[in-house]
Amino acid sequence: MDCRLCEVGCIIEHSPIKDIIKAFKDKPKAKTPDSAAKRAAAFGVSPNRGMLSRTIVEANGPLQLSAMCRHCDKPECLHACITGAISKKADGRVIIDPKRCVACWSCIMACHWGVIERNEGEGVKHSHKCDLCPDRETPACVDICPNSALLYEER
């Protein structure tokens, strides 16, 4: 329903101290727009203090959708990755290792759901997507959604 709390939940979960206030503490404004600022400009929403959530909320009037990685059985991104930075773990999660990513953006080209984004900022340049919250039983976005719009199921 366009509340975008899924983005907030995702950011909290992926912040160093998983506390909502500290995660969003005033960040110094970057000299050039970083990925979060650019996404905010394109979608007309909050830049979330420069943090890029791993889910993308689309909105077209009353139609909204929170899109994140489907952790496909046959991941297009993994097929396209030229450095082997993307792998499928035993529990099924498809993970990007930012240390191995060379920012060629082939995964962005390949993902039919468009749920991989460039994460570019000060000293940061790699691909970025949902990692299914490895430290949680249910992903943060599913837990925080007030309207049961996100379902977490085995398929």
Dihedral Cα 105, 84, 139, 118, nearest 10 deg? -20
> Does the protein bind another protein through residue 103 (CB under 8 A)?
yes
Residues 34-73 that bind another protein (CB under 8 A): 38-39, 41-46, 48-49, 56, 58-65, 67, 70-73
User: Can you tell me which of 2, 89, 122, 152 binds another protein, judged by CB under 8 A?
Assistant: 2
What is the greatest pairwise CA distance in the chain?
44
Alpha-carbon Rg for the chain, nearest whole angstrom, is 15
Closest contact distance (angstroms) between CB of 135 and another protein is 19
Torsion from C-alpha of 119, 120, 123, 127, nearest 10 degrees: 30
Q: How far is the CB of 134 from another protein (least distance, A)?
A: 19
Q: Which is nearer to another protein, 16 or 84 (CB)?
A: 84
The least distance separating another protein from the CB of residue 51, rounded to whole angstroms, comes to 10
DSSP 75-131: -HHHHH-SSS-EEE-TTS-EEE-TTT-----HHHHH-TT---EEEEETTEEEEE---
Minimum distance from residue 59 beta carbon to another protein (Å): 6
Task: Specify whether the CB–CB gap between 7 and 155 falls below 8 A.
Answer: no
Residues at the interface with another protein (CB under 8 A): 1-5, 7-9, 20-21, 23-24, 38-39, 41-46, 48-49, 56, 58-65, 67, 70-74, 76, 78-80, 82-84, 100, 102-118, 144, 146-148, 155
